[in-house]
Amino acid sequence: MRALAVAVAAGVGATLTIAVTPAAAAGTPHIRAGETVPVYSYENAVRESVWVQTTLDNDLDGVPDRVAVDIVRPREAADRRIKVPVVLEASPYYSCCGRGNESELKEYDANGTITKQPLFYDNFFVPRGYAFVAADLAGTGRSTGCMDVGGREEVLSAKAVVDWLNGRGRATYADGTPAVATGWTNGRTGMIGKSWDGSVANGVAATGVEGLETIVPISAISSWYDYQRYNGVLRAEDYPGYLHEVVNGRPEGVCAATLKELDEGSDDATGNYNGYWAERDFRRDAHKVHASVLVAHGLNDTNVTTTQFAEWWDRLNVPKKIWLPQQGHVDPFDIRRAEWVETLHKWFDRWLQGLRNGIEREPQATIETAPGTWVNERTWPAAAARTTKVALGNGNGTTGTLGGRPGSGFRTWTDAPDLSEAAAVANPAGAVPGRVAFLSGPLAQGVRISGTPSVSLRVQVDRPTTELTARLVDYGTATRVNYQARGEGITTLTTESCWGASTTADDACYRDTAENVVTSDHAILARGWQDAAHRVSLRFVTPLQPGRWYTVTVPMQATDQRIAAGHVLGLILQASDNEYSTPQSTGATIRLDLRGSSLQLPLVGRLPAPSATTPSVSTAPSANRSAPQRFQPLLP
């Protein structure tokens, strides 16, 4: 497996140092046969900390805020005056919460020198002629300023590091002496990170900053509004303030003004998209992105939902590549480790080292279609997917149909805020208060949903608003990734594998993982939520008048799923949802006009005509779901 086998063999305490031949030394020692190889000593690497000055002062102390930056770089390259590119991870988690499956934190010696960086990036890439730079976002770790949760301070504090690496900014060492990066780096920077860290990479790329050549956002946010709101539906109360408090590294009271701005700006009372959220919407500036982008996102991520990558991906006009596993909020390093490291190595070699290795000509999408089954495809969504309008039919008067001709009847239900997802999708052929169900006929041939579904509902509501929830369900027995269990689709094992060089303080070895799979009789394919009063615009509320008919579209989460022959596709509609949001239930009664309603599917294949009789579908409660609870805030 190319040079990767050498890295895997390096155990705890090992140092990968390969003698440089005179021929290699005449050129660039860490480049051989079109790829970077581990020739530099990790144990002897330069380890240092600097504080990069930003342009902001949001802790209001009268001096520019400073970002703490910890650096590991190859000493031999610096001695030979070989300038190296940078892998940068900017994170709020280095001191409070840790990174990776094993929640690693930064560690320092008695003199404050970095001895351990989380994750394998420094262990693997520093011997291969890269520097690894880990920045504490403003207001976290050893940085000053105040964390503004996706806002200007957060993004510009990370951008300031890229500027400094390219000779456009100022930094000092702990003793106040100037720190200059241009003596050891060529400024070519790639940002990487999972969750919040990847979100920062998206935000910095959207500034168009010069020197940022590539980003690798993993399970990352592209719009903080869509992370904390679902089309006007409140996900959790005071969510920005909660996130700020979790990662805050400043003394009590220092960031009170910022905390107040987060509370007022996020505007829980209305759920509106306003200037606060626009500042945190990186998609608006996707046209400024010139960095290449390697996206990785779990298709069943219910924390940072799939809209985050799909909306971002659609707007990018740069070289790009995507990995879509079936897990939830999980790093691909813990899903398909060897293949992911190889891909990442090749990606950084191409865009940071400038090696023409052809990765941009490889298939764009790598998708897990079933546990352990992966395919490579030319594009995402699937080139063969076509938006298909699927009619809602009357069926037997209780359970409606999907496909065929539109129905002429109505369905009526009343908001049941305590109705769990498990109860809502169970027994779709029966009557369940608070939900309505529609089923296709059994599939004669398998189909694929690839892209972003939505459902258009013509409704009459007896309140000024209501929340509307839609779920697409695959009814049929299959072995599936168990993303709703602890670990979100992976099980951590007791064995380890090593991915780079090690020191006694920072080894490159991580617990192996295995996919957690389960045989189940149904699976949720996509979910969607919409506040009806935000049907016209997310920027303002437009109340409904009782007795009038309105068309409300409920966008659903992007997905890529295969539905096997013999299975049945279901659409489940309800009002508020107390598991994935903090519902503001109005107790509304909703009347649905079937003729004016439809499901829009990005479909490969065809749904069959509805059955003359309602399909026989049995479901059992998932053994891995607890009783429904009010949504609790998550860390992105």
- Token pair of 79 as six digits: 């001695």
Residue 585 φ then ψ, to 5°: -65, 135
Told to judge if 329 belongs to the known catalytic residues of this protein, a careful annotator would answer yes
Contact (Cβ atoms closer than 8 angstroms) between residue 585 and residue 456: no
How far apart CA 126 and CA 42 sit, in angstroms, is 7
What type of residue sits at position 546?
Answer: P
DSSP string, 356-390: ---GGGS-SEEEEEETTEEEEESSSS-TT-EEEEE
How is residue 81 written in tokens?
A: 């005056």
Catalytic residue among 30, 297, 329, 522: 329
Reported as type and span, the H/E element at residue 308 is helix 307-315
Return the sign of the alpha-carbon dihedral for residues 620, 621, 623, 624.
Answer: positive
Integer Cα distance of 81 and 474 in angstroms: 59
Query: Residue 166: which H helix or E strand, with range?
Result: none
Interacting residues of 126 by C-beta distance below 8 A, sequence separation 6+: 40, 42, 45, 72, 73, 74, 132, 500, 501
Q: What is d(CA 502, CA 486) in angstroms, rounded to the nearest whole number?
A: 30
**Rounded to an integer, what distance in angstroms lies between the CA atom of residue 302 and that of residue 305?**
5
Whole-angstrom distance, CA of residue 361 vs CA of residue 563: 30
Annotated catalytic residue: which of 59, 70, 197, 301?
301
Catalytic: 195? yes
DSSP for 501-556, please give it.
Answer: ---SSS--EEEEEEE-EEEEEEEEEEEEEEEGGGSS-TTS--PPPTT-EEEEEEEB
Q: What are phi and psi of 371, to 5 degrees?
A: -50, 120
Q: Catalytic residue, from 143, 157, 195, 576: name it.
A: 195
For residues 571 and 453, the answer to whether their CB atoms sit within 8 Å is no
| Cα separation, 206 vs 400, whole angstroms | 45
Report the catalytic residues.
195, 301, 329
